């Protein structure tokens, strides 16, 4: 019977190797890439929470986004769909604030899809209904999504919403240029890819009077995001997870240098 | 269909049982139509707790399915003869459990009509793709093996030799289904409760306790309602397997508890706090989790002491305790505990709704119906070797 046992061990070992192998090859490959000069576009955002706080209770960005993207306003909080919204600072960053970071203690901070460089949601999707574009935008195909919600479980930022019920009756007004969704699919911020295609800025960036949201190409030294990143101290949400989020939050530096 | 004629002849009691199951299935089917029409909003799930009862039951029954290996392995690799009569029952249990798993996944889909997109756009980097591969492969293997074994038995000949490689393959395959199911959870960077390498070993250990415990109970029922007897020796040996697996499972859980609490990393600690003490004023799972712990502790005493384990009057009670304890742990704690608190630190209550519970009950009933029909066929063949000759 020893041959059988050997076969068994062999088969089990091979299976494990095949799965682990792919992941480690990917890890090595991405490590090798870091030395290359960066070309093309990599969209990113810089959020300035202190500027954002200037007008208390302002929801201009959320309203603009949810209107142009036909995001429903559902009465039941459990069924909520949201693309961009505010969370208390310590929730957004799992930060300790008893004596540190008092400026932002319990203050609302904008959160939305981080358009990660290494997005776990894309990794887990069984139908490639969510994928990362060359320019870094993490996209959604609402016609391919089977509604398994694996991406919702995988997102470490709680950025994805599922349509628990038909969203259409909950839309006060439909923006005809943008699709509405059906029940049973996942949705989230797409960096306004439809506006980027027309050379426009994302709706939230345009709507913010305080210019608390900057948008631009990370690979372009002259872009507003790079300029802001250069002279400010910024943090990202949960960088330790290796997802490489591309939304930066200004928490120090020279807040008024740029418009 | 093949050999199904055996399932349609039965006693009054048999038909009463079958119709009771069909009634439960009917109620669940109507509930599913309601869910299909309105959306998954009819369940207790929410933006914060996006997987619940369906996925938890799926996870638990993958374990039950995998546990068939606990009778197949000793019989085929170690030539343990006492399990000879049991293997077919184990394989039938596996077929029924895998079917339940597939149904649990299916009813959890937001867009069930698009479910074949998984085949249309195969995505090897998704663990869900591998879960589909491993579950359907396991279903195929067990269906093939039991069909071949049963038809050989009906003809009173030894099973053909070509089936042996399939049987051997089914052994690592059983391990793979539960490993891949653990990988669904423990590769997610933001879910600290699942982010532990011990998850797959823990899944296997709890499966190898809960599955054989269920099999012991099924054997005892079969013994009561038919002339077929798997034998005391086989049942006692299964109880030894349950004992070891249960001990290993508890050991693994304690490993996790040590790592989480000694390291003291808040994201890891919070989930355990929520489950065993309550978090942000929400403690609705606390009584369940402590019940699970108490049952596990009591079951271990009843299993470890040989006199108590070998007492076949106590053993069914012990098996129910093992099954319920592990069902709470995996069927409630694992999924809800993994989603609570959310990545944003929120605690949202999840309570399954009536339609959700009816759908779950219906899938259980489908599992029971399959087991009943399969066992009926197998027993009819065994009981009535004379039946074939007489006609």
Taking the Cβ of residue B346 and every Cβ of chain A, the question of whether any pair is shorter than 8 Å is answered with yes
8 Å CB contact between B12 and B390: no
- For residue B389, pLDDT over 50 is answered with no
CA gap B126, A146 in Å, rounded: 14
Which chain A residues in 74-103 lie under 8 Å from chain B, judged by CB atoms? 76-81, 87, 90-92, 94
Task: List pLDDT tens digits, range B135-178.
Answer: 999 999 999 999 998 888 888 888 899 999 999 999 999 999 99
The answer to whether the CB atoms of B79 and A1 lie below 8 A apart is yes
CA gap B333, B86 in Å, rounded: 32
CA gap A175, A154 in Å, rounded: 30
Chain A: residue nearest B114 by CA?
A146
Backbone angles phi, psi at A241, to 5 degrees: -85, -10
Taking the Cβ of residue A157 and every Cβ of chain B, the question of whether any pair is shorter than 8 Å is answered with yes
Structure tokens that stand for A38 in this block: 């960066």
- Mutant choice from B189, B192, B193, B348 vs A, greatest count of A C-beta within 10 A: B189
β-pair partners for A132? A138
Out of B39, B78, B117, closest to residue A183 by CB: B39
Over residues A165-185, the mean pLDDT reads 95
Q: Name B81's Cβ contacts closer than 8 Å, sequence gap at least 6.
A: B75
β-pair partners for A112? A84
DSSP per position, B65-131: HHTTHHHHHHHHHS--GGGTTTHHHHHHHHHHHHHHHHHHHHHH-SSGGGTTHHHHS--TTSHHHHH
β-pair partners for A140? A130
Which chain B residues in 213-272 lie under 8 Å from chain A, judged by CB atoms? 266-267
- CB atoms under 10 Å from CB of A11, counted, come to 17
In chain B, what residues touch A156 (CB-CB under 8 Å)? 188-191, 343
Percent of chain B clearing pLDDT 70 (strictly above):
96
CA gap A242, A245 in Å, rounded: 8
Pairing of strands A43-47, A247-253: parallel
Taking the Cβ of residue B183 and every Cβ of chain A, the question of whether any pair is shorter than 8 Å is answered with yes
Over residues A173-201, the mean pLDDT reads 95
Percent of chain B clearing pLDDT 90 (strictly above):
81
pLDDT given at position A254: 63
β-pair partners for A247? A45
The 8-class DSSP code of residue A39 comes to -
Answer whether the bond into residue B341 is a cis peptide, omega within 30°. yes
The answer to whether the CB atoms of A162 and B40 lie below 8 A apart is yes
Q: Name A45's Cβ contacts closer than 8 Å, sequence gap at least 6.
A: A191, A202, A205, A213, A214, A215, A225, A246, A247, A248
pTM of the model: 0.89
Taking the Cβ of residue A4 and every Cβ of chain B, the question of whether any pair is shorter than 8 Å is answered with yes
Taking the Cβ of residue A130 and every Cβ of chain B, the question of whether any pair is shorter than 8 Å is answered with no
Structure tokens that stand for A203 in this block: 């709706």
Taking the Cβ of residue A161 and every Cβ of chain B, the question of whether any pair is shorter than 8 Å is answered with yes
The answer to whether the CB atoms of A144 and B39 lie below 8 A apart is no
pLDDT given at position B386: 42
Please give the interface size between A and B, counted as residue pairs whose CB atoms are below 8 Å apart.
167
- For residue A18, pLDDT over 60 is answered with no
Out of B117, B171, B185, closest to residue A8 by CB: B171
Closest CA to B110 of B51, B161, B64: B51
Taking the Cβ of residue B353 and every Cβ of chain A, the question of whether any pair is shorter than 8 Å is answered with no
Q: Which residue has the tokens 């029922």?
A: B221
The 8-class DSSP code of residue A34 comes to T
Taking the Cβ of residue B47 and every Cβ of chain A, the question of whether any pair is shorter than 8 Å is answered with yes
* ipTM (interface pTM): 0.91
Burial of A230 (0-12, 13-18, 19+ CB in 10 A): exposed
DSSP per position, B253-279: HHHHHHHHHHH--HHHHHHHHHHHT-B
Find the distance separating the first CA and the last CA of chain A, reported in whole Å.
77
Task: List pLDDT tens digits, range B77-113.
Answer: 898 888 988 888 899 999 999 999 999 999 999 999 9
The answer to whether the CB atoms of A94 and B267 lie below 8 A apart is yes
Structure tokens that stand for B263 in this block: 């390291």
């Amino acid at each position: 019977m020893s041959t059988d046992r050997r076969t068994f061990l062999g088969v089990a070992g091979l299976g494990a190797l095949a799965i682990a192998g792919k992941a480690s090859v990917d890890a090595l490959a991405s490590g090798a890439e870091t030395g290359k000069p960066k070309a093309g576009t990599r969209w990113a955002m810089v959020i300035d929470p202190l500027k954002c706080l200037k007008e208390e209770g302002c929801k201009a960005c959320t309203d603009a986004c949810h209107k142009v993207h036909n995001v429903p306003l559902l009465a039941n909080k459990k069924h909520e769909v949201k693309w961009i919204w505010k969370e208390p600072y310590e929730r957004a960053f799992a930060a300790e604030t008893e004596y540190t970071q008092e400026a932002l203690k319990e203050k609302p901070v904008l959160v939305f899809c981080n358009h990660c460089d290494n997005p776990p949601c894309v990794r887990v999707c069984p139908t490639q209904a969510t994928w990362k574009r060359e320019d870094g935008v993490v996209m959604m195909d609402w016609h391919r999504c089977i509604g398994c919600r694996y991406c919702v479980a995988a997102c470490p930022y709680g950025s994805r919403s599922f349509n628990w019920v038909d969203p259409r009756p909950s839309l006060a007004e439909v923006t005809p240029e943008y699709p509405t969704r059906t029940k049973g699919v996942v949705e989230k911020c797409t960096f306004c890819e439809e506006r980027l295609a027309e050379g426009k800025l994302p709706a939230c960036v345009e709507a913010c009077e305080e210019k608390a949201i900057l948008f631009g190409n990370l690979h372009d030294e002259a872009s507003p995001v790079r300029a802001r990143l250069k002279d400010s101290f910024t943090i990202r949400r949960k960088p330790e997870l290796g997802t490489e989020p591309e939304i930066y939050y200004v928490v120090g530096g020279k807040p008024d240098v740029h418009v | 269909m093949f050999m199904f004629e055996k399932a349609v002849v039965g006693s009054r009691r048999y038909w009463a049982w079958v119709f009771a199951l069909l009634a439960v299935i009917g109620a669940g089917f109507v509930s599913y139509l309601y869910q299909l029409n309105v959306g998954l909003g009819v369940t207790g799930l929410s933006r914060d707790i996006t997987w619940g009862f369906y996925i938890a039951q799926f996870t638990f029954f993958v374990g039950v399915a995998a546990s068939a290996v606990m009778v197949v392995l000793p019989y085929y690799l170690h030539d343990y003869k006492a399990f000879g009569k049991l293997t077919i029952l184990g394989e039938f249990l596996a077929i029924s459990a895998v079917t339940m798993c597939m149904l649990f996944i299916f009813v959890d889909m937001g867009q069930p009509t698009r479910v074949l997109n998984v085949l249309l756009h195969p995505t090897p980097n998704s663990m869900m793709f591998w879960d589909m591969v491993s579950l359907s492969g396991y279903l195929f293997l067990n269906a093939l093996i039991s069909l071949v074994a049963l038809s050989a038995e009906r003809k009173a000949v030894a099973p053909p030799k070509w089936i042996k490689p399939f049987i051997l393959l089914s052994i690592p395959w059983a391990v793979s289904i539960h490993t891949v199911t653990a990988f669904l959870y423990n590769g997610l960077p933001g879910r600290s409760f699942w982010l532990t390498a011990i998850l797959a070993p823990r899944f296997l250990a709890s499966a190898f306790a809960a599955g054989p415990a269920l099999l012991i109970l099924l054997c005892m029922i079969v013994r009561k309602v038919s002339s077929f007897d798997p034998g005391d020796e086989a049942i006692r040996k299964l109880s030894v397997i349950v004992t070891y697996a249960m001990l290993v499972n508890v050991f693994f859980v304690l490993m996790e508890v040590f790592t989480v609490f000694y390291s003291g990393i808040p994201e890891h600690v919070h989930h355990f706090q929520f489950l065993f003490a309550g978090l942000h004023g929400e403690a609705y799972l606390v009584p369940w989790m402590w019940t699970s712990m108490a049952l596990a502790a009591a079951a271990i005493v009843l299993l470890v002491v040989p006199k108590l384990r070998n007492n076949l009057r106590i053993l069914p009670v012990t098996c129910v305790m093992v099954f319920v304890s592990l069902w709470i742990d995996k069927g409630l704690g694992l999924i809800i505990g993994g989603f609570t608190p959310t990545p944003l630190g929120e605690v949202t209550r999840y309570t399954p709704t009536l339609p959700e519970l009816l759908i779950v009950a219906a899938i259980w009933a489908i599992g029971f119906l399959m087991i009943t029909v399969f066992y009926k066929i197998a027993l009819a063949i065994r009981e009535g070797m004379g039946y074939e000759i007489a006609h």
